Structure 1
Amino acid sequence: MTRPPGRLLTRFQRLPVVGRLVLAVALAMTLVLTGAAGLVYWRVEIALDGQLDEDLTAYQHTLDRAVRSGQDLPAGPNGSLRQVLDTHGRILRSSAAVRAQPLLTPAESAAAAHGAVVRRDIGALLPITTGTLRLRAERVTVGGQPRIVVAAVQRGHRDEALRELLAQLAFASGLTLLAASYVGYRTARAALRPVERYRLGAAALAAGADASPGLRLEVPTDRDDEITRLGHTLNRMLDRLAASAAREHQFIADASHELRTPLTLMRAELDVALHRPRTAEELTGTLRAVDAEARRLVTLANALLDLEQLGSGERIRRVPTALDRLLDDTCAQYRTAAVRDSRTLTVTYDQATVRVDPRWLEPAVGTLLDNALRHGRGAITLDARARDGRLCLTVSDEGPGFPPEFLPHAFDRFSRAEASRTTPGAGLGLALVAAVAASHDGSARAENIPPGATGTTGVTGASVVLDLPC
């Protein structure tokens, strides 16, 4: 019963990769060896047949001359046969071995009588038989009477040579196929051994990722082939998975740490309110306190979610944006706050169009202005310059600046300077600014303005710079 091609293909696809490679090599080599063997056999057969035909033709011509001259039929090569027939197929003269047995069939006799040259092989190459012949018959005229002269020579040596060639080709092809399959198997195993090692390593790392998050696959550094690049790709994937897990752990830790305080305060306020009867004024105060903590929770949750969204690798959407409109719209609300605090907010910018994501850049600039209003003093300056494909945004004030020990940690989550701990905030503003810069393939830095840099002796200040490609 023949299997459907689809089922065979399914079974082939279920084989291991090594098995499929070896089978493919074996099939390819079988086709190549069969073609090569067929070509060799064909060329040798042509050569042997050509030699046999030359001998048969020469013997035929000898018989023709003897029949025309009335001489006895000469003996030909060893094992050869000869006959002379009339046009009706009756044997007139013959070799002793086939004295009463005509070598031609009636149809062949008739064809030869009409002038055709008849050629035919008697016996097959396989299976092995005796008495294999190649005969040739043609019409000759003797004394005005047509006669058919038949010459036949033995094919034994030719057939034996071809059978020996077939055996040698089969033996050599079989050995070559076995050797090619073995080499293909060893090569496939050697090529896939690193893949299996990577798989085992990745499985071990996955099983012990929590205990050893920094472990990576061992990849040779002195090679640059496909398997090595696969190892580097897997290591990069492991790095991203580790970074994702670290962000997840950090998010959970940050959320649990920062959400605990407002929730505890809310619970305390509610417990006090429920402990004994309270007046309307006291209940109103409790509700206002709970509302303030709820707002703080919402602000904190939004900031954490924004940071997680940026840190998860979400692709920003850069669009052509007019720099003047972006900054004017962002600074509008902060100008009012600055006037209320008797401070000035000066905005300078280039008339340029930049490719940024305003969804994220606007809140980042707003965060810097809000920090300058809440933690700084004096005039606030926002300067934006677009030069050579980069946008440099600087927000500075004339306050006391950052504490030196705080500068290295200014963009860490929940990092707050001692002087700012009494003001509202969760310490996520600069972390969000740094995340926005990183998502634009840029950077953010915080620095203090040294005395005299603003033109006024003894005045310092703080400055935060966003450097983005645009």
Structure 2
Amino acid sequence: MNRRWLTLTAVFGLGFLGVSTIFHWVASAREARFLKSAEHRREMVRWEAAYALAMLTTFSGIGFLVAAAAKQPLRALRRQLSLLDPQNPWQRVHVDERDPEIEALVQEINRLLDRVQETLSEADRASARVAHELKLPLTMARLRMEQAVERVDPAISEQIQAELDRLSHYLDRALLLARAEKGGLVLRWERLRVDELLEELLEGFRLLAEAEGRTIEARMIPAEADADRTYLKQILYNLISNALRHGRGPIYLRLRRNASGITLAVGNRIKRSGVGRSGLGMGKRIVAALVQSHGNMRAAYRLCREWHCARLRIFPKMASG
């Protein structure tokens, strides 16, 4: 509904109320002169007051509804803006409203999001180029370190090797993210047991959790899904890793199966502010890119007070798209 028409309707209604009330009072006053008793005149005044109150209440209610309807597009726009995910810069807002002012506002917001997406895309391309450039020097450094291991103090050698491994892991993740977001991944589809993949990953994650005094409580049932083994394992790894890195207390993992597919939920308490916030946010981006590459998956995240829940749904391959 056009906001200008709503405004005109409200103005016309209030104007009609005022004019109608004035004419009615004038007519009533002229009519009251012909009434003989004061009681009749008081009765007429009471009826006219009731009429005016009813008119005022009716048009006030209409005005309130008109004002609420006029604000509805802005409320819808605000809800969409609050739901925008910083990890998904390609999202856009829209409102089913033909008001030129609202449409202009939506267009300006989407132009701003276009510029943000272009900036992030350029940063991603630059990161991918840097990762490609660093891959060869890093490999050569690792080879030289392996050759010189006998001439270097074992403790120092171990520290350097650990840092090289960490940097290599980060570069591999950056290159994977760049390929996935460009749609350059080649998927090798298989029928996989998701519960078995999770058990393989949980063996290592349980050791890491125990080192932090935490536990992983998993409830799983046998469940199969169509996916690429390597990339599905990467998705599962990132979901559990994020819960371990950014959470506290027990990690709850649930794997369920129904007619539409399987659902994996990973829940944990969020770390208190100021703790564990040094990550680069690459984990969720990799999950989003790999999920989009498969086409038969959906990933969602939900915050509820101090709880965070990551949910992965995998549908049958024939139902994708």
TM-score between the two structures when normalised by the length of structure 1: 0.34
User: Is the helix fraction higher in 1 or 2?
Assistant: 2
Q: Between the two structures, name the one with larger relative contact order (CA 8 Å, sep ≥ 6).
A: 2
Q: Higher Cα Rg: structure 1 or 2?
A: 1
